[in-house]
Amino acid sequence: MVLLELTTLIVVVLSLGYYYVKRSQRYWANRNAPHLPVKSFWGNMENPITTKKGLKFDIKNAHDELKRLGYRHGGICLFTQPVYMAVDPEICKQILIKILIKDFQYFGGRGGDDIDYGRNPLAGHLFNLEGEKWRNLRVKLTPTFTSGKMKLMFDTLLSSGIPMLDRIGEFTRENQAIDIKEIFGCYTTDVIGSCAFGLECNSFKDPNSDFRRNGRNILRPRLALTLFQTFRLVAPKMMKAINLKIIPQDIEDFFIGAVKSVIDHRSVNQVQRNDFIQLLLNLQEKSKVDGQQPLTLEEFSAQCFVFFVAGFETSSTTMTFCLHELAFNQDVQDKLRNEIRETMRQNGGKLTYDSVMGMKYLDGVINETLRKYPPVPVLIRQCNRDYTFTDTNTRLEAGTQVMISNLGLHYDEEYYPDPEKFIPERFMEENKHNRPQYTHLPFGEGPRNCIGARFGLMQTKTGLAMILDKFKILPGPGETYKIDFDPKTAFMAKKGKLTLKAERV
- Tell me the CA distances in angstroms from 5 to 17, 18, 447, 468, one per residue in order: 18, 20, 56, 71
Residues sharing a CB contact under 8 Å with residue 110, sequence separation 6 or more, in sequence order: 127, 128, 130, 380, 381, 382, 448
Query: Contact 408/58 with Cβ under 8 angstroms?
Result: no
CA–CA separation, 18 and 499 (whole Å): 46
Which among 33, 38, 19 has a CA at the least distance from the CA of 72?
A: 33
Pairing of strands 378-382, 401-405: antiparallel
Sign of torsion over alpha carbons 2, 3, 9, 10: positive
Helices and strands of the chain, counted as H and E runs: 20, 9
Whether residue 304 is annotated as binding a ligand: the answer is no
Pairing of strands 81-86, 401-405: parallel
3-state secondary structure of 446: coil
The total number of residues shown for the chain amounts to: 505
CA angle 351, 170, 331 (to 5 degrees): 55
Known binding-site positions for heme: 450
Known binding-site positions: 450
